[in-house]
Each structure stands twice: as structure tokens, then as C-alpha cells.
Structure 1
Amino acid sequence: MYPIRYCLLLLCWLLPIGVLSADEAKPPLRFMTADVWPWGYIDEYGQPAGLLSRLANRLSELSDLPLDNRVLPHQRLVHELRLHRADFAVLFENPTLDSFASSLGVVIQADILLVTRPSNSLKLNLEGLSGRKVAYIRGTYYGESFTADQHIIKVPVHNLDQAVEMLLMGRIDALISSDLVLHHTLEALGMTTGQFRIAVHAPGHPGHLYMSDQPSYPEQAQAMQSALEQLRASGELRELFDRSLLVNE
């Protein structure tokens, strides 16, 4: 039998290790990204990719916080955030989010655009598109006027390339999109904005870094907010997201 003093010394030596191990065992913060190209998608290696996945990586590096980035369908992401099974997500400003999440800052301000074929003489506004088919990415919030409008025929799609194909085939009359998603989609399809008629529906629609009102570790909000501010101050946010379009009225 070891003397009591040796047992106490051994206990004091082991205790800090046990505390450190428990702290290191904390699960990472849950960052969720909408499965909407180019915001988020799963690459050929089965890993999260896209603009918001790159943002998540930089936020993790600057805040020194581990983030578990998951790519989910847009509506499921909002559902997970509502049920407090997500800590952070970047989403366009939406009044319904205010009841279960709060903004840590604006990530991007995007113009929301209405797009049609050059041969289509319809006025590119909600009134002019009354009774017409307008495609939109399922689950995305394009502002209250689009959400509340009951006169246009809203056609949900998963990604914008599907909407562009439907527009060119004449299956829809117009589509609605943020400028960034439209830019990247047309670029990937080898097309330009000059092949379409485009009008601004809602300028400067903000996308926020949202935090659940019941996050895993509330004390980490400041670190994430500071990381976002560092990205803004350095110009990295602008470099990542600023892909403006020349809009033809």
C-alpha cells in the first residue's frame, strides 16, 4: 500500500489531465450550409464545398473554434435551426428566423433579380408577371413582396441551372435569383447575362450569419462575431462574395 501522501500527489497530477480531456471532448459547433450551388454542395470526395463552406473554414480558423459544417437542403436547414440542432448558418434575411435565431452580422448584400428571355416582352416586375410561371430555388427567401404575391405561379427548383434550362425551353416565363447565384450559374453554363433580359426586383438584400437562440456554447458568439468582422475589415468577405453583374433593364 502506498502512503496516503503519495496517493494524494498522484490524484493531483491526474486531475488536470482529466479536466483537459473532458474539455477537449466537447463536440464542435454545428455550422449548417444550404445545399444550393454555389453556396454549398458536396464535392467528389464527399466533403462540404462551396462559398459558404469556405467561409466556415475561415471563421473556424480566425475564431479558433472547431466547426462541424454540414450541407443540408435549405428547408431542412431552417428546420434544424428552429429545433436548436444547429448553432450557425448563413441565410438571407427572413423575418421568420427572428423567433429562433439572431444575426451576428451581415455577410453579403445581394441584388434579387428577375430574369426572362430577350424575346419575352413582359414587364419584369411582379405585376407584369401576374399569371405567369416564375421559378425560384425552393426554400430561399426573396423578400416579403415575392413571398406574399399570390398572382404569379411559383415553380420551385433545387438549383438555378434547372431554372435556366426550363426558361430556355419555354417551360417557365421568368426566374428569380440573387445576382451572385445567377452569375456563377451562367458562368458554369458558359453563358452571359447578355443572353437574357434582367431587372432588379429587390436591391441589397442582406444575408446574415445567424446563431441559434439556444446554441451549444453561448459564450462563443463573440469569437464568431469577431472573426466575421476580421474578414470584413481585411476585404476577404468582399473578395469571396462580390461577383456583381451588369444588369440590363
Structure 2
Amino acid sequence: MKKIATLAALLILIATSARAGGIYQYSTIDALLAGRYDGDLSMEQLLKRGGFGLGTLNGLDGELVVLDGKAYHVQAGGEVVTAEPSDRTPFATVTTFEEDSIASLDAVSDLDSLNKAMLDRLVSENFFHAVRIEGRFEMIKTRAIPAQTKPYRPLVEAMKDQVIVKFTGLEGTLVGLWTPGFMKGVNVPGFHWHFISDDGTRGGHVLDVSFDKLVARIDVEREFSMTLPEFLGGVDLSPDRSEALHKVEKDPAE
């Protein structure tokens, strides 16, 4: 399809200057929204591209958290197991985290407050940023989706199966990525957060969070590379899926 070819050409140009440590992405968020849940990239291969990031696993089986070179599989219900090297992903974004700056954060009452506070700390909204926030979280609400069965439904429908859990007084790490708005359709524009507890047993995609005072470590990324899986050749990427993405990212309790 013409749009896929144009996107591929653009991303190839972007990738030509990619360094180790830049943002690496497998597939697109729009393909995931369309129900393409089976990729060919293994955890072993993904971790060679970066040790910090997020995504999901084949079959839309829960959430993926990548931290300190390890891949964690968050299952529906918030329980975590270490992903197997052979486990595969249909969508993931990783980098080699290299701290460029730190920012002290005052008390945060909810996810919107965190996003607003971090927005002020960005070097530019046109650059990618990886953000790592460690410490004690007064409250953190996460979700994960149980593995889907074929024929796969679009993501906005699969979200109806999500399992939401709420933790209090939990020590852990927020793994965050900021994606520029011009990457709409490729990744989630704005902030995207996943969480993993210090003991590696609880986590998920973050729907809400609160904490007292913590420090954000920030990695500014101006280089991007991407693998376009073969299955993209059969996906219609022309529709605007912004509304579906908003429904997927939003806390259903709001």
C-alpha cells in the first residue's frame, strides 16, 4: 500500500543515522490497534536493541516491561514473571538508557499531574525522551489484558477484558517514554508509562499514580530506528485511529 511504502521510506531515512542507544521500535501502535498481535521478534533479539522500554507480548498477553536489561511479563491481574528469551512481541519500544538530566518532582496526586510536571522537564516536545522514576508510590493503578484468541478483535474491543489492579505503598520503578506528536500512528503520542515493583512481582500499564517527592532520570533521544514486520503489508494503516487509541489509554473509571 502507498502509505506503508511512504512510511517505510521515511523510517529508513531516520534509521540511517541511528546509534546504539537510540529509540528502537518493532511494529506500529496502529497495527496493534488493528488487532495484529503476533510478531516474530523474540525477547532475546529485543534486548539486544535496548534494556529499557515497554510493549506487549504475542497474543496481546499482558504487558511488557523492560528494565536494566531484563524483560518482565506482566500478566492479567498484575502478577509478573520473567519473560522467556523465546517469547515474542507484536509491539515494543526500547532504548539503552543513558541519563542526560535529573528532575526533582514535588508531590504528584494523579497521572495527569505527573504528565504535566514531566512536560515542563522535556528538552523539546519534538524529541523522544525515556524517563525512569524510582521510589515509593503511595498509589499506583495498573492494567493488563489476558491473552487473546484468534480471530483477534481490534484492541479497543480486547480492552474490555483488561484486569485493573490498585497497589498502595509499593516500591518500584516507572518506565516511561515520551513520543512526539508527529509520530502519531507509529507510537503513542505523549507519555506512556509501565510499572514494575522492586521485587519484580507486580506491575502493568499505568492508569493512575500518586507519590510524595521523587526524582525523574531523563534520557533525551533524537535518533530512531524501526523494524516493519511482514504482517504490516496486510494492514490498512490509512484510517485515523486516534479516537480508538484514546479509549485504549484512558482509565475506564474516569
TM tier, smaller = under 0.3
TM-score for the superposition, normalised by structure 1 = 0.26
Q: Which structure features the higher share of strand residues?
A: 2
Structure of greater relative contact order (alpha carbons < 8 Å, 6+ residues apart)? 2
Q: Which structure features the higher share of helix residues?
A: 1
